[in-house]
Amino acid sequence: MGQLPQDIGKLLVGAGLFVAAIGAGLWLMGEWKIPLFRLPGDLRFESSHWKIWVPVTTCIVVSAVLTLIYWIINHFRH
């Protein structure tokens, strides 16, 4: 049972760093005016009473970046 609190602590610190990195990235995107959520290919439908936004291109870009990060981490782990 002595190892469990250390493992939970490591997990919480890692999760906190991950959340902080995401927050810093979103903050910098706002400062640098990066149009990630307004890319060509993102579908937007609106009327006078409703608005639908489907971020197709944004999802593809985010997926590619996360896949690249995952690949790099796994490459250097082995």
Tell me the pLDDT tens digit for each residue of 28-48: 777 767 666 678 888 888 999
Average pLDDT over residues 49-64: 89
Whole-number Å distance between alpha carbons of 18 and 36: 20
Domain boundaries, the chain: 1-34, 40-78
DSSP state of 33: T
Whether this model's pTM surpasses 0.75: no
Band of pLDDT at residue 1, cut at 50, 70 and 90: low
Average pLDDT over residues 12-37: 81
Residue located via tokens 């082995």: 78
The pLDDT value recorded for residue 42 is 87
